[in-house]
A and B are shown apart, each in its own frame.
Chain A
Amino acid sequence: MDFILEGFIQALNLLVGGNPETYSAIWATVKVSSYSIAASLIIGIPLGFCLGYFDFTGKKPLRTVVDTLMALPTVFIGLLIYALLTHRGPLGNLGLLFTLPGIAAGQTILALPIVIGLSATAVESMDQKLRITIMSMGANRRQLFISSLWETRHGILAGAIAAYGRVMTEVGISMMVGGNIKWHTRTITTAIALETNKGQFGMGVALGLVLLGIAFCVNLTLSLLRRRY
């Protein structure tokens, strides 16, 4: 048990003392997860809205595919992105392998089905009376879309939080696409995996605490926003 306690003490020293290696991993994580969540929300919310709102042929099979993709294994996405971005792959000339944007691309694929699926669920559970209300007030098509989206904001927000949680805590994509390069593509989760292998519990615990802290801050901010709007 002592080594866990020592780990906690060492973690606090690393965080309070501003250990550059620790903060490099924190910064990389914040940066890459922000990119990926932003991209997945921009692409996923309109797609999720359309999937939930409109009735079209093949909607049910498509919904099943999206729901299945919500459980995509991160190592599989990592493998896929690696294959695409490696110099022999079709997107090799982009030079994204072992870079933060490369990890962000993989994490976007991870988050996208979650954002689409949960947005679609939020829109599907939208009261039919909402549409009648908005239209009866004189809305045009664009206003109907925007107002409906705004009314389902709490459900969509829940989807965004779930996606952010998945992106923040994944290891497979960051490890395979990023390569866990110190000062460069090492994220909190890959650092924890590495440090634990080396027996360095202190840094692992410190980074774990930071991960929890970031998740807490994000949820607190969103919860405050939700109460206000």
Chain B
Amino acid sequence: MSQPIYDIKSLEHSYGDKTVVAIEQLSVQPGSIVGVIGPNGSGKSSLLRLLGLIEKPSRGTIFFNGRVVEPFSDEARFLITLLPQEPFLMKRSVFNNVSYGLKLRGNGQDVAARVDQALALVGLPSKDFARRPWYALSGGEAQRVALAARLALKPRVLLLDEPTASVDAASAQLIREASLRARRQWGATLIVASHDWQWLYEICDEILHIFRGKIFGSGRETIIFGPWQQFATGKWGKVLSDGQQLLVPAPPGQNAAAVIDGLSASDDGSTVSGDTVVLNGIVSRLSLERKTGQLFATILVGDLPFTVGLPLKQGRADNIFPGEKIFLRYRHDQIKWL
């Protein structure tokens, strides 16, 4: 295995007394695609800002290509770029926005050609868009121009913070294709924070599940938030919108978040032991993880989505298709509290 492009040790970042990122160790291989998933406010954007050297961590060290880096580090500032979630352009023309980073690097000679190429990558013809001012673009076009400004730099690391969250379907497709071309064409490392699990499962070599600033899994876990209640039977849990009871071991606090890892799904609804909980759900979405060939099913129990990984063969054998009824099964010892 080659030297990691990123190596993070005991990283911690806080705003006031609120810790938003706390990662003990993380390595990212060069040329890989890493997905970061987690609910809103879980620390995805903060992590990307730290990796993008926009903010200095409160504690800990980020190694980039084996060297300690921080904001404005000469070793890294021309190699890493971050595309923030909301499209933001500077008050200048599309051409000047896209060429801005090239000019910072002193690449004065082939600027026009590189701007044309970058705009073409995101599906914006230079002759129609280059002269437009920043305010004469739609949200999707602005986000594509912002991505073109990053792609023009041919960065070693492209950090994408929910790049398709605020754009239409057509723009989202162009942004996805253009991002992947960065890896294909010049071997860029991509780190993508997104709620689009399906896309991440398709493209990523590794997925990090982040919650309250901590990485706790690979994205196949289901997080369930409190509040929890104690039923008359003495058991803890919550009543789902369809009336089923989601039972858990006694929580550390009424609003604690539970993680269920290793859920199983089948068309068999019989209970095996007293410690096993069986829930009745409906398959709402299927995704294929290309790297492992495994299926990921999103199963709705009431309104609550659960993620289950299962081999492709089992998916076929058990007729697991969207709309089909299915039984979810977990044991109490599969629940961890965050």
Listed in ascending order, the chain A residues whose CB lies under 8 Å from chain B are 127, 129-141, 143, 147, 151, 153-154
Listed in ascending order, the chain B residues whose CB lies under 8 Å from chain A are 49, 52-54, 71-72, 74, 77-78, 80-84, 86, 88-91, 100-101, 104-105, 146, 149-150, 153
Q: Is the CB of B72 within 8 A of A129?
A: no
Q: Is the CB of B84 within 8 A of A140?
A: no
- Do A137 and B72 contact each other (CB < 8 Å), given the known contacts A130-B88, A151-B90? no
Interface of B: prevailing SS = loop
Q: Is the CB of A136 within 8 A of B83?
A: yes
Q: Is the CB of B77 within 8 A of A138?
A: yes
Q: Which of A127, A136, A140, A154 has the most chain B CB within a 10 Å cutoff?
A: A136
- Do A136 and B72 contact each other (CB < 8 Å), given the known contacts A147-B90, A151-B91? no
Q: Is the CB of A136 within 8 A of B91?
A: no
Distance in Å: Cβ of B228 to nearest Cβ of chain A: 37
Chain B contacts of A154 at CB under 8 A? 91
Chain A contacts of B71 at CB under 8 A? 135
Q: Is the CB of A138 within 8 A of B90?
A: no
Residue of A nearest to B105 (CB): A138
Q: Is the CB of B100 within 8 A of A137?
A: yes
CA distance A134 to B89 in the complex (A): 10
A-B contact count (CB 8 A): 60
Q: Can you sample 9 A-B contacts with CB below 8 Å? A: A129-B88, A132-B54, A133-B88, A135-B52, A136-B52, A138-B104, A138-B105, A140-B72, A143-B104
CA distance A137 to B78 in the complex (A): 7
CA distance A2 to B145 in the complex (A): 64
Q: Which of B49, B88, B90 has the most chain A CB within a 10 Å cutoff?
A: B90
CA distance A137 to B82 in the complex (A): 8
- Do A129 and B53 contact each other (CB < 8 Å), given the known contacts A135-B71, A140-B77, A143-B104? no
CA distance A151 to B77 in the complex (A): 21
Q: Is the CB of B49 within 8 A of A138?
A: no
Residue of B nearest to A153 (CB): B91
Distance in Å: Cβ of B212 to nearest Cβ of chain A: 23
Q: Is the CB of A127 within 8 A of B77?
A: no
Distance in Å: Cβ of B89 to nearest Cβ of chain A: 8
Q: Is the CB of B88 within 8 A of A136?
A: no
Q: Is the CB of B77 within 8 A of A132?
A: no
- Do A138 and B84 contact each other (CB < 8 Å), given the known contacts A130-B90, A132-B49? no
CA distance A40 to B154 in the complex (A): 43
Which of A127, A137, A141, A143 sits near B81, CB closer than 8 Å?
A: A137
CA distance A133 to B81 in the complex (A): 9
Chain B contacts of A129 at CB under 8 A? 84, 86, 88
Q: Is the CB of A136 within 8 A of B150?
A: yes
CA distance A126 to B83 in the complex (A): 18
- Do A138 and B81 contact each other (CB < 8 Å), given the known contacts A130-B88, A132-B54? yes
